[in-house]
Amino acid sequence: MLAVGSELHLNEIFSVEAYYRQDRNGWVPYSHPYFGDDVYGLNPLYKWGTIGEDAYLGIRLYPYEQWHSSALELRKKYNTGFYVSFGTGVYQYEWKGYRIETFSSAIVDSSNGAINYQTDSAFIHRNGFRINQWGPQFGMGWKQFHTRYIYTDISIYTNAYMRDNRSVTGWYLNDERASNPPYRQEEWEVALDHVEYWAKNGHGWLFKASIGINLDIRK
């Protein structure tokens, strides 16, 4: 997982914040037997099978003069303490998966009658889908300076109100050697409907605990 963020001071009460988060081979919220397993680990060239990305831009509101430190050098720090945030978020989730078919034949050992199985063929069928969501997002948290240079920021955000702004697209590629491939258009559309149904409320709550560096030590 990779996460970065920044906050720009406007005045004693307001600031602008932005963050970006990327999670590879992590949370799998839209699993379904029809899609099979994700491709991560199937081939060294596949660096990820699932990837989730968040981006957010919003305004923070801090209560006025909310001091929380007895250190005089921190008393005049702006944008500290409890805050609420409101803005716009974008969320993207992508899946790459596969299903494998193997066909074996039985060989009887004439010396002892033991039955051995030999793989005759193996077919690999691949698929993928992508979810894009966007809409209003809000959160709250607590920011506290520990020195003039370092602060901690603990917050929780939700994107549960993206339900009306969403697109789900997908693809599949059957092994051309298979005579009875598993992915069929009608079944594929039903599987995508399953994904879209469970994606309608976003991914829920996002908890963040971060350590920040103050680039302007005067404020």
Indicate the SS3 state at residue 187. Answer: helix
Cα separation of 16 and 88, whole Å? 12
Structure tokens at 137: 């997002």
List the chain domain ranges: 2-213
Mind listing the pLDDT tens digit of every residue in the chain (219 residues)? 899 999 999 988 999 999 999 999 987 887 778 898 899 988 888 899 999 999 999 999 998 766 666 677 777 788 888 999 999 999 999 999 999 887 766 676 667 767 766 656 688 899 999 999 998 899 999 998 888 889 999 999 987 766 778 899 999 999 988 888 899 999 999 999 999 888 887 777 889 999 999 887 665
Rg (CA), the chain: 25
Query: Strand, helix or coil at 94?
Result: strand
Provide, for the chain, the percentages of residues in helix, strand and coil under a 3-state DSSP scheme, each rounded to the nearest 5. 10, 55, 35
Query: Which residues does residue 118 pair with via DSSP β-bridges, in sequence order?
Result: 105
Q: How many CB atoms lie within 10 A of CB 106?
A: 8
Model's pTM, two decimal places? 0.82
Tell me which residue has tokens 């598993």.
182
Amino acid at 170: G
